[in-house]
Amino acid sequence: MNNMHMHKPQRDPTIKTSLLPDGHVVLVSSQTDWAHTLSPMGAVIWEFCDGTNSVEDIVSIMQSMPELGYSSQSLQQEVSELLENLEQAGVLQEE
């Protein structure tokens, strides 16, 4: 993920999402029959992958929402790791 912080991640529009009652989100690719479940934090990150927010923007937005209760010390790393995994899974597009 060398350049992830340099661009603005964007969800692949072909990925379908389903919100579960516990806050998790299921991502499904109808093209590859691939599915992945995101934690509630991952669901928030996914929501901000709209092509307008950089990784730093996503971290800042999440830190500004105290009701989410995310520690600022680990948040940058957690966001970066999730975005790297999503990018490797092919569900994020380049800007």
For 25-81, the pLDDT digits (tens) are 999 988 888 899 999 999 999 999 999 999 999 999 998 887 777 766 788 899 999
The domain spanning residue 52 has which CATH number?
Answer: 3.90.930.60
CA nearest neighbour of 12 among 22, 32, 62, 2: 32
The reply to whether 94 falls in a domain is no
pLDDT digits over 45-60, tens only? 999 999 999 999 999 9
Q: Using a CB cutoff of 8 Å and minimum separation of 24, what contacts does 77-85 make?
A: 78/41, 79/45, 79/55, 80/1, 80/4, 80/5, 80/55, 82/38, 82/41, 82/42, 82/45, 83/1, 83/4, 83/9, 83/45, 83/49, 83/55, 84/1, 84/4
What digits encode the pLDDT tens for the residues 10-26?
999 999 999 999 999 99
What's the structural domain count of the chain?
A: 1
Domain housing 55: 4-89
User: What is the pTM (predicted TM-score) of this model?
Assistant: 0.84
Q: Note the pLDDT of residue 79.
A: 93
pLDDT number for residue 6: 52
Residue 76, in any domain of the structure: yes
> Burial of 73 by CB count in 10 Å (0-12 exposed, 13-18 middle, 19+ buried)?
exposed
Q: Please say if the pLDDT value at position 4 is more than 50.
A: no
